[in-house]
Amino acid sequence: MPVPINTFKKSLSAGDTVFGCWVGLASPFSAELMGTAGFDWLVIDGEHGPNDLRSILAQLQVLEASDSHPVVRVPVGETYLIKQMLDAGAQTLLVPMVESAAQARQLVRDVTYPPHGDRGVGYALSRSARFSQISDYGTTADAQICLLVQVENLKGLAALDEILEIDGIDGVFIGPADLAADMGHMGNAQHPDVQAAIMDALRRIKAAGKAPGILSTNDPMTLDALDAGAQFVAVGADVLLLSHSAQALAKKWQSTK
Ligand SMILES: O=C(O)C(=O)C[C@H](O)[C@@H](O)CO
């Protein structure tokens, strides 16, 4: 049995644009539902969603049947978390708060098997190798791992050119909310200075031959990001979709009292 082809990574390498959605409800049931919606990719959010390894594993399992590629966002770029998520079957990782080339280089080593990296070899037991059914997983897995790093503060932007020179980083996601906060505009990613920084970063990422990524629920911003070269573009979040529609429905009928 061959290692699964990472179709998301293949799309990014081909220069394709892929639309995604954040999945923060931390439920395999709602993740399975989101997997039927038609997005190219879904972020299982281990940073701001109430997720842990087991809940992320359950969501990976239900999304196996979906055409939406699961991207696992770890809460922090720690080696032990990365090895656990990869062995659980994640093929694409999104790592928040990357702000130096040294940090990015270590993340590449964390997702790469020896001799070129430090990923621990335990795939004989792992879901990622289909419990030893993928006998050559150790020599074929690296090519199907997609590493996305988040640059989302001023320190990260200052290190962006160095980060973009690192082989093994497949894409760079600009985090609007955290960047806005670090720029002194908490809650206002639409501030002109923040927008300018985001679009400049996306252009630089594209020019460096890496895949630029963004999350935007603001259509003009989404279109600007696409113009700037954004390739993996999240356009919503399950929590917001449910919360906003529930509030609107309640308001509609409460107003008839
Ligand atoms: O900084 C950002 O923006 C992101 O990284 C995305 C957020 O974490 C996401 O939870 C939406 O606010």
Q: What is the pLDDT of residues 77-102, one digit of tens each?
A: 999 999 999 999 999 999 999 999 99
Say how many C-beta atoms besides its own lie within 10 A of residue 108's C-beta.
Answer: 19
Q: Which residues line ligand 1 (CB under 6 A)?
A: 22, 48, 96, 150, 152, 175-178, 215
Give the pair of three-digit tokens for residue 116. Answer: 């070129």
Report which ligand 1 atom has the smallest distance to the Cα of 237. 11
Beta strands in the chain (DSSP E): 18-23, 41-45, 69-73, 92-95, 146-151, 171-174, 211-215, 232-237
| Domains in the chain with CATH codes | 7-254 (3.20.20.60)
The interface pTM score, or ipTM, of the predicted complex is: 0.95
| Single pTM value for the model | 0.97
Q: How does residue 1 score in pLDDT terms, banded at 50, 70 and 90? A: confident
Atom of ligand 1 nearest to the CA of 47: 8
User: pLDDT tens digits, residue range 120-158?
Assistant: 999 999 999 999 999 999 999 999 999 999 999 999 999
From the list 48, 69, 116, 244, the catalytic residue is 48
Higher pLDDT, 237 or 1: 237
Substitution candidate for ligand 1 out of 45, 215, 217 with most atoms within 8 A of CB:
215
What pLDDT was estimated at residue 181?
98
State the residue for tokens 């390894």: 53
Using an 8 Å Cβ cutoff, are 204 and 224 in contact?
no
Q: Annotated catalytic, 48?
A: yes
Average pLDDT over residues 30-57: 98
Nearest atom in ligand 1 to the alpha carbon of residue 177 is 3
23 CA distance to ligand 1 middle (Å): 12
- For all residues of the chain together, what is the average pLDDT? 98
- Residue 18's SS3 state is strand
